[in-house]
Amino acid sequence: MTDIGYVRTEMLPEQDAPSSAVGVVHWIRVNLFSGWFNSILTILAIYFVASLLYGVLPWVFKSSWTAHSLNECRESIVAQYGEGATGACWAVIRERYLQLLYGFYPSELYWRVNLAFVGLLVAIAPVLFAGIPRKVLWFSAASPFAIFWLLWGGTIWLPLSVVAGFVLGYVAYVLVSKPAGSLAGTIAAFLVPVLWWLLLAAPVASGLQSIIPLASESVESARFGGFMLSVTIGVTGIALSLPIGIVLALGRQSDLWIVKTICVGFIEFIRGVPLITLLFVASTLLNIFLPPGTTFDIILRVMIMVTLFSSAYMAEVVRGGLAALPRGQYEAADSLGLDYWKAQRLIIMPQALKISIPAIVGNFIGLFKDTTLVSIIGLLDPIGLSTSIRANQEWNGIIWELYGFIALMFFIVCFSMGRYAMYLERKLKTGH
């Protein structure tokens, strides 16, 4: 009979992994040549990428940067690289890049756009990165109005009177909620500013302007274009659609039947309609519904439509995040005595939004690219401009260079957003 009893007398020490399990060679073997099938795929992929680059790179680099028309371009390429050579005509970008960036914005006022862009970067920095001092958030709060004034110009009293609406809303909340409860306060905080903006803000602004004239040269919306237009619409949509989407998602989960029905109705209607349709409504129909004589800026209308469209999708994304949270989180928050809004703000939303980061950023990217659809209603975004550049006799027939440039610009922005999302996910990871 064998003895099956065994007792370990000393524990084994930890040892380094063998060199075949770490390092570059290991990586290549595991990831590229782990088997015959994988090896064939690797070789095919290398061949494919190489032949793609072989075709594209000469076109990119055997190019002309100095010509003033497409024909001149072709001639100079042939002269430089020999008969039959074809290459890109980057001269069109060199000649028109200012237009692609700023549209028809007056060139002597480009500094205002640049300043607004820098202001935008400063304003979003504290939102994106926790390391920035929190006081910069005050600048972020003020920046939409400052940027609006920088871009459109005109009297400074207009953005200030819009700001006054928010102040009025806050005052109304404080005054009403004390005697009549927080629900009445919330309604007042909503109604008072809306009435102010619709009825009083414009007359008050022009009144103040006539008393104390403070204005910069105004630039009308028709002169907006290029990437500046895309960024303006895109950033507005992104900044507004997330909070609206959160409110809609919460409304959709509400126990109050009316609130729930309104939110569901809104979301389902907007999701069921193509963005193009909404943009056409913005460009043509909206004026019919508004009181006669009101001029309602076309870019503003487009912004509203893009925001509404995106917020409906955002609501569904956030709802997905909410649904993914275990019920225990709500119960723990309840059992600690946190009320609904505190539980949402401190416990539920931070987690739901974290879960939804990939989808939220995906929506942002989609929204930013969808801003090119405004070219269909005649706004001169980069796509709209490229059409008009090609309509010019000198550049008639140029396609790849323009679209390539536009694609590159969009890619830089969208890729950065995607990278930022990955950074954020890593940063917020609190598990093992």
**Interface residues toward other proteins, by CB under 8 A:** 326, 328-329, 331-332, 334-339, 342, 346-347, 350-351, 354, 428, 430-432
Handedness of CA 220, 222, 227, 231 (dihedral sign): positive
- Of 75 and 334, the one with the shorter C-beta distance to other proteins is 334
The answer to whether residues 254 and 320 touch, using CB atoms and an 8 Å cutoff, is no
Which residue pairs, CB below 8 angstroms and at least 24 apart, start in 190-197?
A: 192/168, 193/165, 193/166, 193/168, 193/169, 194/165, 196/164, 196/165, 196/168, 197/162, 197/165
The answer to whether residues 276 and 376 touch, using CB atoms and an 8 Å cutoff, is yes
Least distance to other proteins from the beta carbon of 257, Å? 17
Nearest to 300 by CA among 393, 388, 237: 237
Least distance to other proteins from the beta carbon of 426, Å? 14
Burial of residue 118, with CB atoms counted within 10 A of its CB: 0-12 exposed, 13-18 middle, 19 or more buried: exposed
Least distance to other proteins from the beta carbon of 362, Å? 21
The Cα–Cα gap between 245 and 220 comes to: 31
Least distance to other proteins from the beta carbon of 248, Å? 23
The Cα–Cα gap between 13 and 178 comes to: 69
Nearest to 385 by CA among 369, 370, 374, 397: 374
- Of 182 and 218, the one with the shorter C-beta distance to other proteins is 182
The Cα–Cα gap between 66 and 263 comes to: 56
- Of 42 and 329, the one with the shorter C-beta distance to other proteins is 329
- Of 231 and 343, the one with the shorter C-beta distance to other proteins is 343
Least distance to other proteins from the beta carbon of 324, Å? 12
- Of 133 and 337, the one with the shorter C-beta distance to other proteins is 337
- Of 20 and 335, the one with the shorter C-beta distance to other proteins is 335
Least distance to other proteins from the beta carbon of 342, Å? 5
Q: Name the residue with tokens 């494919």.
A: 48
Least distance to other proteins from the beta carbon of 328, Å? 4
- Of 95 and 425, the one with the shorter C-beta distance to other proteins is 425
